[in-house]
Structure formats: C-alpha cells, structure tokens
Amino acid sequence: MSAAPSSANVSRDPLEPTVLIEGAQTDQSLNDSLLNHVWRGAGRGWWMLFGCALSALGLLLIGITYTLYKGIGAWGNNIPVGWAFGIINFVWWIGIGHAGTLISAILLLLQQKWRTSINRFAEAMTLFAVICALLFPLLHTGRPWFAAYWLMPYPSVQGIWPQFKSPLTWDVFAVSTYFTISLLFWYLGLVPDLASLRDSSKSRTKRIVYGIFALGWRGSGRHWSEYKWSYLLLAGLSTPLVLSVHTIVSFDFAVSVIPGWHTTIFPPYFVAGAVFSGFAMVATWMIPARQFLGLKHVVTIKHLENMCKVMLATGMMVTYGYIMEHFIAWYSGNPYEQGQFFKTRWHGPMQGIFLTMVFCNCVVPQIFWFKKARTHVGVIWFASILINVGMWCERFNIVVTSLHRDFLPSSWQNYAPTWVDISLFIGTIGLFSTLFLLFLKFVPAVAITEVKELRHEMEHEAHHASVGGGAGAHG
Amino acid sequence: MSCDDNKEARAKDRQKRRSLPIVTAEAPRPSTATAARAAPRYWRSIEEREAAKAIALGAVNEFPPGADELAEGSVSRRGFMQLLGASTALATVGAACRKPNEKIVPFVRRPEELTPGNPLHFATAYALEGFASGLLATSHEGRPTKIEGNPDHPETLGGTTAIEQALVLGLYDDDRAKVLRRGGESTAWRVFLEDTKARAERLEANKGAGLRFLVEPSASPLLGDLRRRILARFPMAKFVSYSSTTSDGAAEGPRLAFGQPLVARHDLDKAKVILSLDADFLGEGPELPRATRAFAARRAPGPEMNRLYVVEPALTGTGAMADHRLRMRGTDIPSFAAALVAELATDTPALAPLAGLPKSATFDQRWIRALAHDLQRSRGSSVVIAGRRQPAAVHALAAAINAALGNVGSTVTYLLSPFDGSSGPKALGALVEDIAAGGVDTLVITASNPVYTAPVDFKLGQLLQRVPTTIYHGVYEDETAAVCGTMIPATHPLETWGDARALDGTVSIVQPLITPLWGAFAETQVLAAFLDEGDVSAHELVRRYWFGQRPGDQTAAFDAAWEKWLADGVLPGTAAQPVTVPAVDGQALATVIGTQLAALTAQADGLELGFVNDQRLHDGRFANNAWLQELPHSITKHTWDNAVMISEATAKAQGFETGDVVALQYRDRSVEGPILIVPGHADDAVTVALGHGREGAGESIAKGVGFNAGVIRTSDAPWYDRGLKLARTGDEHKFAITQTQWTMSPDGRASPPPAVDATLAEVLNEGSKFHEELEERRGPLPTIHEPVDYSHVQYKWGMSIDLNKCTGCNACVVACQAENNIPVVGKENVRKGRHMQWIRIDRYFSGPIADPEVINQPLGCVQCETAPCEYVCPVNATVHSDEGLNEMAYNRCIGTRYCSNNCPYKVRRFNFLDYTSEYTAARMMGTNPDVTVRARGVMEKCTYCVQRIERKRIDTRIAGTTIKDGELQTACQQGCPARAIEFGSLNDPGAKVTRMHADARRYDLLHEIGTRPRTAYLARVRNINPDLAKVD
Amino acid sequence: MSQGAHIPHEDTGFVPERYVLAKFATSDALLEATRKIREAGQGELDTHTPYPVHGLEKALGLGRPLIPTIVLGGAIAGAFIAYSMIYFMNVLDWPINIGNRPPHSPPANIPITFELAVLLAGSSSFFGFFTLARLPKPYHPVFQSESFRQASVDGFFLSIKIREGESPDAAAALAEAEGATHVEIIEELER
Amino acid sequence: MSLLFRPRHNTLAQISLFVVAAGALGGLGGLMVYARTPYARGMQDPIEQPIQFDHRHHTRDEGIDCRYCHNTVDKSPSASIPPTQLCLNCHSQIWNKSPLLDPVRRSFIENKPIEWRRVNKVPEFVFFNHAIHVNKGVGCVSCHGRVDLMPAVEKGEPLTMGFCLDCHRHPEKNLRPVSEIVNMDWKPDGDPEETGKVLAEENHVHTRTSCTTCHR
C-alpha cells in the first residue's frame, strides 16, 4: 500500500473531481461538527425514537421468554416446515450485517475514498445486525440450554463430539468468528476517535469514561506505524471472511437435498443479496441520520449516489440468481426442482411473497439507472426500504416455500406464523434500533480521524500531487 | 409370526406365554403387588378412594430399565427441571448436575413367575359386537403395555385391529368411572349386593315381571349361562341385547333364504372372485383380521389372484382395495342385487324365479354382465358378501346367489347364530314400549351407553327416568350414566375374568392382566348379583361354569386343562359345526323379498342420508381414547372429527365446499356438521359417521369432538334413507387433516409416482413397461464414495411393505404408537401439521376424482443407508448403527429440526410442545418401559423398533444362539392383519424380507435421489376383468 | 515546572523521566523538525498526530512493522488447530458412520479451518498491536501538558525523551529553532 | 489540573485486563474439572437408608452371594431390589427380635414396601441391561465398586457415558470368568490384558458402541 499507486489511482479515480467533503473545513471544524451530535444533549426526536425502539425491544423479550417457556410449538413451525421465521430472520440480519464489513474492508482495500464518511456507521450496523442474527440460531433449537454448549467442541464427560460435516456446526464457527472480528475491527478503528472525544470533551467525567476506552491513545508515530498495518490486515481478513460467512450460511441450504435448497448458485447469490440488503439498510438509516446529525457536509449526495449504484449492481446479481435457479431447474430435468420453481413458487400458496420478492428485488432497483432517482433522497430512502422488504421475502421463499412442498405430496403442509414469530421479528428490529440510537448518542457516527486524514490528503493533492498517497494505506 | 409358517417359533412363543396360576383371590398374580396394596373394593369416601388409588398406582415402582418412566408424571417434570438446570453453569459440562435422591420401591412379595424387567405375555380375548378375537397382552411388572393378536386363535391369526391396539390406552384412562354410586352418593358394593338381594326377592314374587336387562349382544357362554339362570329364577324377566352397530338384516336375510337365523362366515382364501355389496369386511366387523389375512394371501399376482368387486356409497377400506368399484347410493344397492340376480339367472337356473324382482334404478349393464360372468366362471370359488347396513332382502339375495353358485360350504359357511334374537332397533323397540307402558320396574343396563346409541325416536333418555330403578354398568360416566339411578364402574377387558366366543364358535377365556385400577366390577358379577352370587369373584364364576361344563372331570384334570386353555388362549374343539343349509326355495323367497324390495325401491327420491360406524370410535365407546381420536381416517385422513361426507359433484350442485358447516335436515330433525368432499362417493348421497359429538359428563377427551349424527337417526331407518336436505349455516370448520393432498402430483409435476400400481397383465408380462420402469427404481446408483459394506455384519435389518396387501386399516399406526410411547398432540396441533405417528399411511387417489383408484402406502422411516438427515445434525444425535439402522439418540438431540427438513420422506416427528410431562400416574403405567418418553424440543422417529431388536439380541446372545427369521417382529409388522409388512435381516438369504427385496415388484421410494432406503415397496397389482378393461 | 539536572525525590529515590513537548503548526513542519532533531540526536523522539502523517515513520527511523508476521503466525496456528481438532474428534477419537460419508472428508473441513484461521489471525492482529504499543496505558507524561489535548484534534506534536542526567534545555531550544509554536518541558509523575 | 490518569492507573489497567482473561479461561477449565470430580458424580457419599443394611456384613462376614438377593441380575435387565419376603427368609429365624429389623417386619405385615434410596442410577434414557453384562463376564465390582467394603452403599464409579464407552471400546480389562462374577477380590493371574483377550474369546464378547445399544 505505497504512495505511488494510490496517488496514481487518485488521479484516475472516477469519483474525482467531486466533493466528498463540502465547504472549507479545517481539522478543528471537522472535529467540532462531527462530534457535535455527541455533545449535543438528546433531543426530543431522539427520545421518541428511543422510546419506540425500547418498546419493540420489550416485545422481543416477551417473545423470547414465551418461546423458552412453551417451546418451539409457540411458533408456527411444523413438519415439513421445520424452519421458518427463526432462520429467515437469522439469514436476513446476517445479510444486512455484511454491508458494514464490505464498506469498511473491501472499499478500503479498493481505496474508495468515499467510504470514510460512512464506514464507521456501517461497521456499527454490522455489529448490531450480527447481534440480532445471533439470537436465532440458539433460540430456534428445541433445547437451547443444551445447544448452548453441545455445539462447542469441548471434552465432555459423555465423550461425544460435535459433527463437523453439518453446516450448522460450520455456522457456529463462521458467525462467532464474524462477530468477533467485526467487533475488533470496529473498535480498533474507533480508538483514535475515542481519544479525540477524550481530549475534546468538556466534562471531566466524560473525559474519564472516554479516556478509559481510548486506552491511553496518544497518536504516537510509533503506534501509527503498527496501527496502520493492524487495521489494514484486519480489513484484509474481513474481506474473505465476509464472503465466507454468507457462503457458509448459504450452505445450510445448499448442502441439503431439498428442491429449492439443493443448488450450487447459492453462495455467490447469497453474498450479493447480503450486500444488496446491507446497503439498503445503510441507506435507510444514513439518510435520516445525515439529516438530523448535521453530517451532510461529509455524507454528501455523492455518497448516496454511489450506494445506489452498488444496490443497482447487486440487485441485478440477485436477479441473475433467480433466473439461474429457474434455468437450472428446467435444464436439470429434475421434476422436483421443476415442481418447486415453476409450480410452487409461482402458483403455490406462498405466491404472494414470491411476487413481492421479485418486484422489490428485481424491479425496484432499476430506477437507479436514472441519476434523478440516484440523487433524490426521498426516492433512495423509499426504494431502500422496499429492498429490505424484498430481501426478507427472498429468505421466506428459500426457507418456507421450499420446505412446505418437497418430495412426497403426502407430507405437504401449509405454514402460518404466530404472534410470537411476528413479535420476535419486530423485536429484533427494536434491538437493532436501540443499539443504533445509543451508538449515535455516544460515539461519533463518522470516523473523524479518517475524514480529517482524507481532507488533509486531498488538500495535499490540491497543492502538490506528488505527496499524499500514504494516507491511502489508511484512508 | 404368521399362523401358516414358522411352527417351531410359534411353539416357543406359546411356551413363553403364561397361564395364570389358579388363585382364589380376585387378584391375578402378575399384579400381586397391585393387588396386595390395591384399592378397597368399594369406597366409603372420596378421600379414601384417592388414597387407595395413589397406593395402587404407586405399586409399580420396581426398577427395570425405564422404571424411571413408570413414575413419569413426576419424573418427566423432574427431568425437565434437570434440563433447565443443565443451562446453569454447573451443568454446562455434560449434565454434571447431581440427581435429587430417588426412592426405589421393591415388591413386598414378588410373584415367582415375575422377573422384574422382563415382560410376560398372557393370552386373553376381547369381544366387540359380541364376537371375540384372541389377543396376547404384554405385561411389564403387572402393567399391561401392549396388545398383539393371538396367532393360535382361528379368527385372529395373530392380526389385530386399530381398536384392539388402542385398548391399553383405554385401560389407563383417568376419566374412567371410579365410584360405585347411587344417585349422587358413593356407595359400597356390599350395600349394592344387599339391595339387589332384597329387590330380587321382591321381584321373585311376581316372577320378575318388571325386571329387564339391556345388554350387549354377546356370545359368551358364561353370560349366556347366567342369563338362563336368571330367566329360570325370573321367568317373566326379559333380556334385550342392543348394539347400534348390528343390524336386523344380517340375521334376517339367511332366515328368509334358509329358514333359520344364521351367521355367515366367509373363507376368502378359497375365493377367487369376491363381490361386496356395501360390505366393508376389510374395515370393520368380527371377520376383519381373518378376512384381511385371507384376502391378502390371495393377492399374490398369478392365475390364482383374487378379484374384488365392491359396490358401495362411500369409499371404504374395502373399496380402496377393489379391482372394480361401483359407487352407488346405499338405497339403490337392493335394486342392484336384484339386477345382478336377474343377470345371473340367465345362466343359473336356480336363480330364475328371482329374475323378475323389482328394481328402482338402472345400472351399467356392461358392468353387471362382466361381474355375473366372472362370478359364474368361478362357481364354488366366488362369494357375494352383503353389508350389515343392507336390508334383509340383500342378505337373502346374497345367500341365494352363493347357494346357487355352489359357494356355500367352500367360500361361505353358515353357523347357528349364538345370539337369541336380533340386537338391532327392533329388539330395543320392544323394550321401549314396555317402559312406555310402565311395565318396567327394574332395568339393568350393561350395554354400552344405549342412551347415546339408541335411535333418537325412542327417546330412551327421557324414558329411563320413568323407570323406578335403573342400574347402569358402564366404563364411563357417560350419557346413560347421567340418567341412571345406580352407576357401577365397569371393568376394562384387561381387568376382568370371563369368557368369549369367536365368530367360528371357538371359546377363549378372558383373563385379567391387572386388578381393576379403580375398583370396578365385571358384568358377570352384576348379573350374578341377581342370583345372590354377587360376592363371588368373576374368576370364580367363570371357573365354576367351565368346571360344570366338564362333567366327571377331576379337579386336578380340570386344573391342567384350565392351565392349557389360558396358555393357548383357546378352548380346543369348541368351534361350531357349519350348518348344512337347505336349497333355497326361489319362488317363496321371490314373493317374500319381492314385496320388501318393492317397498324399498318405492322410496321418495332426494338426497340420501347414510350412517356408518366411525371406523375409529366404533359406536362412540372409544371416543375417549385419544389414540383413536387422533388416528387419521383411512380414506380422508381427517382426525378428531366426523364429517358430512359427500361427492364433489353433489357438493358443487349444492354449492358447498369442504369446511362449510351445513344443517342436515331429515324429517323434523336437524343437526349441524361440516362438509367434507370425498372422492369416490356416490352422488346425491351423504355419509355421516356415528360415535362423535359425545356429551358424557366424565369423558373429557370425547366431549364436543365432532357432531352427534345420532340425533337424526331413527329406528325405521338406522342406516339409509332418502329425503335429506342440506342447508348452509354460514359457519366454517377447519378439519385436522394429516394428508392435505389427494393425488401423487397435485400440481401436475412430472415426478415419478411414490406408490406404484399396475394391472395383473402388466405384472405377469416380463417385458412390460412396468418392469422397465421398476428396474429404474431399484438397484445401485452411481456415487462418489463407496457404499458401506454391510454384508459382514451379523444382521442387516431391512423391511418390505407390499402395497398389494395393505388395506390401510391403521392397525400398524396404533401398534407403533403403543409400542413406542408416541404422544398425541390434539386437534389444534394436527391442524398445524404436528401429528406424531411414526408410521403414516399415505393414501393416494388416481384417475377421476369421481371414481378414483386408491393406493395405500404405509411409510415410516425407511432407514436410508446414505441418510440425508444424519450429515446435517450438528451434534451426532442421529447416526448410523453398525447394522445400518438410522439411529436417533433422543437425549443427544438439541432440536435444530435440520434432520427433518432434509428428510425427503418427512418421516421425522418433533416434540414441538411438552406432550408428556402432564401424564398422570395411571397413563405412565401404560408406557413401554423399554422406550424413552421423549421430552419437549426433541426429534423422534421410527427405528425399526430397535428396543425389540436389542432385547432379542441380548436374549439370544445370552442363550448363545442367533435371531432367526420371524422370531423378531416390529410392532407394525406384528399388528398388521394383512401381513403386508416383512422385517428381518437382509444378510439372511432365507429370510422373507430378503425374498421380498428380490421380488419383481420391488422398488425403492425416491430411489432416484440415492438415499438407498432399507425399506422396499412391492407394487400394487390390479386384477382387471378383461371385459371391463379400461374404458372407464 | 523544574528545570536543570534530574533531582531524585528524597523519600523514594525515584528518578522521573523528562520530556520536551513541542507543538508544530502543520504536519509538514513536524515532519521537517523530526528529521532535523533526529539527526541532531537529541534523546528518543516520538510524534503525536491526530491522524497518521505520511513519512513520519521514516523521519522517526522506525523499522519494519512486526504486525504482519504476527498475523501470519496466527493464521497458520488457527488453520492447524482447526483441522487437527476436526480430524481428532471425527476420525481418531470416535469415527461414526454419518449417512455413509467417510469419517475424514476434507471438503467438509474447509469452512471451519478457514474460519478459525481468520479468527486467530484477526485476534492476533488486534491484540498484537496493543501488546506492541504497550497499551492500554492511561497515563503517559505527555498527557500532563494542557495543550496536548490538541494532539488528537488538529495539533502536531513532537516529544523528546531526555536522556538520564542531561538537561532538556538544549532539546527545547532546538525544537523552538525548528519552528515549534509552543514548547514545554514535562517531568514524569511518581504515582 | 486536567490530567485524567496517574501512573498507578497503568498498573491498574494491566491487572484488570489480566483478571478478565484469567477469569474467563479459569472458569471454563474449572467447570470441566469439576464435572469429573467424585463430588459432581455423586460418588464417595454413603447414602443413609431407611434400614441400616450392611453389605459388608452380609457379603463378607456371612458370605452371602450377591445373587441371593439381587436374583434377577443374570436373567433380566434389572438386578432388582429383593422383596421384603426375601429378607425374612433368614430374618424370621435370626435377629427376629432385633429392633433394627422392625421396619422389615412392619413392611411384611402391613404389606407396605420398604422405600430404599437409590444409589446407582443411570438417566431415564439409558437402558442398561445387567443380564448381558453378567453373562459375558463383567463383574459386579466393575461398576459398583467394592460394595463388600461399604457399610452403607455409595456410588463406586462415575457411571458417565465416558465410563461406559471406555469399557465398551476396550472390555478386556473388565472381563473375568463368569464363575467369578460376584467375586470382589478376583484378580487375573498373569497379564490382565492377555487374560482379558482370552476371556473375550471364550465368552463371545462383542461390545457395541452404536447409540441404540443404550439409548432407545
């Protein structure tokens, strides 16, 4: 990651020359404007949102308690539909989580400068999404109190081990690794900002608190030199990680024999779908956030437009996935596959969900061909919400629709969720929002350090293009 | 073990069966422990009763493996707490938590024949509809846990019915009546006896003029004897036997034909052509086990294969097996019989006089002609069977045809009816008149719940209140108990001594497996009370009687004989001799039934209302048996309900959909029930099952399930009548149906049919397409890794199921449920698709929905060698055994349900809720101690009854032998009356199952996905009459 | 703030370290000054900037970073542990017939092997860094300077650790000469 | 003075980090060790019975064969606790006055079973079969410990799945001539391993580790 290529890169950067930071900013001004929302006391708006989030969270607690008390029978699941909302939500949340890592890691490796304004935001989202996702693998088992540790390879007195051919075992490792790494990555990036919080806070208590978390960071040149590598390598590791995680999640289905699950295209198309939904979710939150936290000067319309482009691209990958599924079903001549895709999906009892999915995931993103749409905040926001819906429907199709009609017609059964299913779903949204609002309250939503660096770097380019790539390693 | 093979194994089996040593006490020995501490025979107070019950139930705490389950009511809850405990840090290292201390309660005096931990087998008998079937009951520490058929019994031949399999659950039913009460007061047996003594003396004065007994039709010699002795003492008294399931026609028909009431017994193993006129002989009635076995035995494809014609309104199990089925309103069948006779008459002079009988409808002549020719082609080896629901005329014609075709003596024999008089509505009518006339002073009811089953126009409920003294002897506090003054708790068949006679006359001694759990009393005791012998035990009564039957027998000699009777389960030489019937006087008969037919055929037109006994609840007496309530109907697969069954066309015409609740308006009465469209139902006809909509105060399970069709059932039209109207009520009903799809490709997908069938011609022709297709569906498939080689293990367990034999009678389903402690989940959960039966019988319709062909396909876990369920389990809870069983370790399961998702056959069942921890102590006694009672959140499935395998393995390994073919049976196989299921080691070339696997009709279900199942299927064969070859 | 030679505290004999902390206006100035002062060989240098400034490593004369090697080690360890664990558990200790699949099937082992490699690599990167950086270290003498609070906002600082027995003045002077906008001398606290 | 932390806080920070890490690892390790302790397994904890039945006395002093009381052990899954009747076979003659035996006599007269407390227990879902083990030469002592030295019986072995598997994988070391089944002191003469192999041959010992061998 040396200066030369990056600076060369910069000049050929398709984004250039565009404003990634608006107005004449100094480090000081950036510092103040970006920390402003942390210093500012919680407004009425924040409290109202927080209230809603908390009540939804309450719903989650009720749902969990009831499920543990009553058993999985509290859900709508049955035989053949052994998995339903639980796994749908799991996959959906995990997918959403991916955008964060993608933005912070992959765009970092690709030296996309525009990422700096949104990566902190997206990484936080990853964490919270993964937390929501993590609830389900445990909760959906019949006996969580055993699942909690029997899935771990520890020397038990029974002398029996986990079964490592099962995708669920892979999941355990994949998801926990993903969570750990995302957390470390996020925190490492946060440390310098925490230091500036520590140093620019007014009240002593706040300074001490932030000071504790800043771990005594003092911007030492010796630290920076290792830090850059540590951060870069974490990014480098997260990149294959993020791809592997959703690949493994897709194995939960792809490895099975069930028509609609048993397909090799799942890994790539799950990952694309993950990024798709992830960006949609980032947009859904970023648009109001930049509005109310006064971040418009760093999260410019340019950023949003780029996100739209990504959504358009991934949306089309997903669409390709759908087409491929159908093609292979037809081409393989497998009657069960054909039944699943040409009969059940289009004409079965779950038809509505399927069509919703097609509309939201294949049709809606197409509007992003138009710059007007890409640059209109309202349109983007609305579209991104639709995409979130669409992606949830996709998971419903994969999980429930495939299961409810498989090989032997004698075992076909319909599926209907219960209030517990629904409250668990809403509940996780509550959990996510709660964590997110807290994050916005106590931590800078934008990576100050990196934005400053970016500014500094662009300043240099303005002056003498020869200097200034170095930050590329970091920015 | 089937009757016809493996003699020596059978002999061994018989030795293993125990006869009960002579005991003078009421208590049979195996349950000494219970007896010793058993409840007092009668109660002084409720508290005392409860206390006594507690002791009685506590008495089973010997500790065989699984004894822990015995006290399950508590154990499972404790187990559950442990599970919760396991979530605490302490236990997070392999359930390390220390157990709370437990009690072990040994016997005080252990009966010597009892080895704690090893089950005993007792031969006994159970009589339904008056005729006995011989059973073998398995008992663990004095707790009967399982029923099997007695292979040595001529009418059972080792087969069972679903109802018999479910008897065990009924025994431990906590809803059973537990108090002997007079009015609201609990009273004592002693007191009752004193009253009765006094009353008897009073009645004797006027020769018992006001004394009536309303009893079940029964062929029991002992009951017959008691009856005679009572009538001797009270000449004016009357015995009325009534059962809503028997009809006057069946007894009357032969009388018309041969001049005396006779019972027809059919030997289907001699029959090449069978015609059923509305007779569901494979689905109900005393002939079921033997008829099914004989019928199935002749299904082997070949020149000798039988051909079944069925004429019936609603699709039955028999109809499903038909090679040719003609759907027809029940009220048209007499005309059909007449038409058939007319057709036959052309070639059979004996029938000529009957040729001109009146007919109301016209029928498919081609069909009738083909049928007639077929019947005639096989004179002496054909048979016409008339259904119980048909009037005397039809039975008479059937008899006439059989006689004319020379079938009498070969395929059908006639026996003297053991019943005196009929037990249909006619008999009951007489009693009702007596009561109405105030001529009845004391009425003793031992019939099962007549107030519910009696025709509505008798208004029996109200009438009974007019009778000064009513004594009801029943198992439950049911509708009848509610209106009777005195209620005597009746013993369960497994609780009492007695005897019973089978259809062929063979007598079996009924011996108890356990003392009455809640102090109940036998029918014999109640009757004996009127002979001042009420204090004599049921055991003594039956012994005395039979001792009396063997004059000049020394006690010792008798004891020896008695021992043998008990051990064998049959009394040798008691079978009745067939009656040699006179030739039918065609002219006479013609005149008699001519008028009857004229009356029948002159019926008002309009929708036909047809009643049928529910195939699970019978006349409603089993309505409190959850196993039977949750048993899927063999055709519609609905549970926990009865329905207004109707054909699609008629429903359309009337504008009804399945689920619409309609009011059935018949004459001036009406009842509401949900429509259920059934393929193959006759048009313009409706069929409703009796036995539902119970309102017994004591029957918590039966209460309010389904609707009571009895409230529009009148004495003059107990089975069929026209003039029904259906009116929409606007309500909707959601059936709890276990199989929602009708056909093998509901959405028109091109998948290979799961259940294969072919015509006999195709099967016999080696080169036919059928054989080509089957070749595709068996044998090795290309695979990337070597299949595990099982040829060297001692046993390679495998199963085969012959679709050509399975009649869908459901015996296997209940047998499995009883053997494997499978819980019931209730109506709501069945609706959600969470039923638990490990083996299900998939029923597929093909062809036009109006006239479908049916295949039954029993499906349990097929034990795939490359099981898809196994590699997805994260915790090794389901893996392969060295012998190729697909094992399921319940205690290791964490309930991800991934295995079920990945099971192409969807034969895994999941404990979505806690179905077992609320079991009462009594219910726990009924569980099989060799099988874990599964906890909440655990996956379960069929493992070829591995507990039986392991027991047998250990026994043989100790004995130093090996398991021979036929020695080891799975529950479903043993219960199956058709012997459609074979099980054994595929490494044994001589084994039946091995031969079946090599059969030309063999194919593997979903073979194309490479699961290598161990259960093989044999294709269904349809023996089409060439004259009727597929134009329809 | 004491000037002149080190004065050991009478009671404990603790010898405090002393730093010269110089603030510069821009990163370029800092870069320039660092290079110069290092050449002058004044004590041990360190810089404090709100964000990494390109070129400072060279200016401070830092060697090749260790992190990459550590991470590589972590990755290898992770992969090895994972595969051997699976092999031991499902092949050596208790091989079970899982639906006819071979006990040792490499494809099935790839995901976990990879994940564990990433986990250990990532963790070693994170914890490796903090170990190398001797963090957490809430207290450091430079924090005593009030103006140092700018270091994480927009200040570019250079800190010079004065060698035993030397006077900080020279270094301070040099820093001023190099255009430091503000220079102060800090003495380490004892407790 | 705006200084937030002082030198001592550095030490504090390091210590607290150490505590967290050590706590997590130590805790888990501790639990695994605990699960293997006799305490967690409920061993070495003599259980007070309603009647002070002394196995030591009955077997060692009186030399009564285990199978006299546990008389179904070789033909049934369950060894069975003797019925009261059986106690009185002897105790109607000897000690028939002893107050210690009152509960026994009462049980017999009142026909109420003696409620013993369970000592050796496998979970509900484990189907252990005494008969096959005894008939294949696995001695009582192998699973029940030196009952003949226990005044009050205590759990002699952990009876965990691991314990069972260990023997089912390598039965040799626990095999003995069927004649010596109840002998608590029996020691193989010569190399135990070898003797075991021979015995396994003689008794046709084929141990199995399929799940359904014990779980059904």
Q: Which of C94, C100, C105 to mutate to test the interface with B (most CBs of B within 10 A)?
A: C100
Give the nearest partner residue to B913 out of A70, A151, A167, using CB atoms. A70
Q: B587 φ, ψ to 5°?
A: -55, -55
Cβ neighbours of residue B375 closer than 8 Å, sequence gap 6 or more:
B273, B275, B344, B382, B384, B401, B405
Note whether C101 contacts B: Cβ–Cβ < 8 A: yes
The whole-angstrom distance between C25's CA and the closest CA on chain A is 12
Contacts of D85 in chain B (CB under 8 A): 107-110
Give the nearest partner residue to B108 out of D34, D107, D118, using CB atoms. D107
Q: B734-764: per-residue pLDDT in tens?
A: 999 999 899 898 888 888 999 999 999 999 9
Distance CA B160, CA B150 (A): 9
CB-CB neighbours of A155 under 10 Å: 15
B327 burial via Cβ count (<10 Å: 0-12, 13-18, 19+): buried
Triad B47, B52, B53: Cα angle to 5°: 100
What pLDDT, on the 0 to 100 scale, is given for residue B827? 94
Does the bond joining B106 to the residue before it have cis omega, within 30 degrees of 0?
A: no
Distance CA B1011, CA B61 (A): 44
State the count of interchain CB pairs (< 8 A) between B and C.
35
Task: pLDDT band for C132, please (50, 70, 90 cuts).
Answer: very high
Please give the ipTM for the structure prediction: 0.91
What pLDDT, on the 0 to 100 scale, is given for residue A27? 78
Contact B108 D112 (CB under 8 A): yes
Q: Which residue of chain D comes nearest to C149, CA vs CA?
A: D2
The whole-angstrom distance between D22's CA and the closest CA on chain B is 17
Query: Mean per-residue pLDDT for B989-994?
Result: 95
Q: A21-50: per-residue pLDDT in tens?
A: 776 777 788 777 777 777 777 788 889 999
Q: What is the DSSP string of C26-61?
A: SHHHHHHHHHHHHHHT-SEEEEE-SS--TTHHHHHT
Q: B102-112: per-residue pLDDT in tens?
A: 788 888 888 77
Query: Mean per-residue pLDDT for A340-351?
Result: 92
Contact D3 C149 (CB under 8 A): no
Sheet holding B143-149, edge to edge: B17-18, B120-128, B131-140, B143-149
The whole-angstrom distance between A405's CA and the closest CA on chain B is 10
The whole-angstrom distance between C74's CA and the closest CA on chain B is 27
Task: pLDDT band for A464, please (50, 70, 90 cuts).
Answer: low
Q: Which of A149, A152, A154, A158 to mutate to test the interface with D (most CBs of D within 10 A)?
A: A158
Give the nearest partner residue to C52 out of A181, A184, A228, using CB atoms. A228
Q: B828 φ, ψ to 5°?
A: -60, -40
Pairing verdict, β B103-104 and B131-140: unpaired
Contacts of C103 in chain B (CB under 8 A): none
Note whether D25 contacts A: Cβ–Cβ < 8 A: no
Distance CA A111, CA A92 (A): 28
Distance CA B138, CA B815 (A): 12
Contacts of C126 in chain A (CB under 8 A): 184, 187-188, 230, 234
Distance CA A455, CA A117 (A): 11
Which contacts (CB < 8 Å, 24+ apart) does range B53-56 have? B53/B178, B53/B517, B53/B518, B54/B921, B56/B515, B56/B517, B56/B518
The three-state secondary structure class of B348 is coil
Terminal Cα distance for chain D, rounded: 74
Q: B574-612: per-residue pLDDT in tens?
A: 999 999 988 888 888 888 888 888 887 776 778 999 999
Task: pLDDT band for C41, please (50, 70, 90 cuts).
Answer: confident
Whether C152 contacts A195, CB under 8 Å: yes
Q: Which of D124, D134, D215 to mutate to test the interface with B (most CBs of B within 10 A)?
A: D124
The whole-angstrom distance between B736's CA and the closest CA on chain A is 11
What pLDDT, on the 0 to 100 scale, is given for residue C10? 65
Answer left, alpha or beta for residue B895, where phi above 0 means left and psi between -120 and 50 means alpha. Answer: left
Distance CA C155, CA C158 (A): 10
Task: pLDDT band for D140, please (50, 70, 90 cuts).
Answer: very high
DSSP C88: I
Q: Which of B899, B906, B907 to mutate to test the interface with A (most CBs of A within 10 A)?
A: B906
What is the overall mean pLDDT for chain D?
A: 90
Q: Which uninterrupted H or E stretch holds B135?
A: strand B131-140
Distance CA B642, CA B647 (A): 16
What pLDDT, on the 0 to 100 scale, is given for residue A123? 87
Cβ neighbours of residue C84 closer than 8 Å, sequence gap 6 or more:
none
Q: D56-113: per-residue pLDDT in tens?
A: 889 888 889 999 999 999 999 988 889 998 999 889 888 888 888 899 999 999 988 8
Contact D7 C144 (CB under 8 A): no
Place of tokens 């339903």: A84
Q: Which residue of chain A comes nearest to B755, CA vs CA?
A: A408
Give the nearest partner residue to C139 out of D2, D10, D17, using CB atoms. D10
Burial string for C8-41 (b: 16+ CB within 10 Å, else e) reads eeeeeeeebebbbbbbbeebebbbbbbbbbbeee
Task: pLDDT band for B425, please (50, 70, 90 cuts).
Answer: confident
Q: Which residue of chain A comes nearest to C148, CA vs CA?
A: A199
Contacts of D2 in chain C (CB under 8 A): 146, 149
What pLDDT, on the 0 to 100 scale, is given for residue B8? 52
CB-CB neighbours of A347 under 10 Å: 12
Query: Mean per-residue pLDDT for B120-134?
Result: 91
Q: HEC string of B924-976?
A: HHCCCCCCCCCCCCCEECCCCCHHHHHHHHHHHHHHCCCCCCCCCCCHHHHHC
CB-CB neighbours of D52 under 10 Å: 12
B348: which 2 tokens? 């059979």
pLDDT over 60 (residue A438)? yes
- Count Cα neighbours of B202 within 13 Å in the Cβ-side half-sphere: 10
Whether A144 contacts B86, CB under 8 Å: no
The whole-angstrom distance between C132's CA and the closest CA on chain D is 14
The whole-angstrom distance between B46's CA and the closest CA on chain C is 56
Give the nearest partner residue to A78 out of B832, B859, B898, using CB atoms. B832
Distances (CA, A) of B384 to B254, B348, B379: 13, 15, 11
Note whether D3 contacts A: Cβ–Cβ < 8 A: no
CB-CB neighbours of B90 under 10 Å: 16
Contact B871 C96 (CB under 8 A): no
Give the nearest partner residue to C62 out of A222, A234, A468, using CB atoms. A222
DSSP C89: I
- Tell me how far the alpha carbon of residue A277 is from its chain's centroid: 7
Query: Mean per-residue pLDDT for B410-415?
Result: 92
Contacts of A160 in chain C (CB under 8 A): 94
Q: Which residue of chain B comes nearest to D128, CA vs CA?
A: B65
**Rg (chain C; Cα; Å):** 25
Note whether D126 contacts A: Cβ–Cβ < 8 A: no
Percent of chain A scored above 70 by pLDDT?
A: 92
Note whether B842 contacts D: Cβ–Cβ < 8 A: no
B740 burial via Cβ count (<10 Å: 0-12, 13-18, 19+): middle
B702: which 2 tokens? 């039966």
Give the nearest partner residue to A177 out of C85, C115, C140, using CB atoms. C115
CB-CB neighbours of B242 under 10 Å: 27
pTM for the predicted model, two decimal places: 0.89
The residue among B312, B310, B311 whose CA lies nearest residue B322 is B310
The whole-angstrom distance between A194's CA and the closest CA on chain C is 9
Q: B233-272: per-residue pLDDT in tens?
A: 999 999 999 998 887 888 888 889 998 888 999 999 999 9
Whether B550 contacts B163, CB under 8 Å: no
What pLDDT, on the 0 to 100 scale, is given for residue C42? 76
Percent of chain D scored above 70 by pLDDT?
A: 99
What pLDDT, on the 0 to 100 scale, is given for residue B7? 53
What is the overall mean pLDDT for chain A?
A: 87
Contacts of C81 in chain A (CB under 8 A): none
Burial string for B495-514 (b: 16+ CB within 10 Å, else e) reads bbbbbbbbbbbbbbbbbbbb
Strand partners, B149: B135
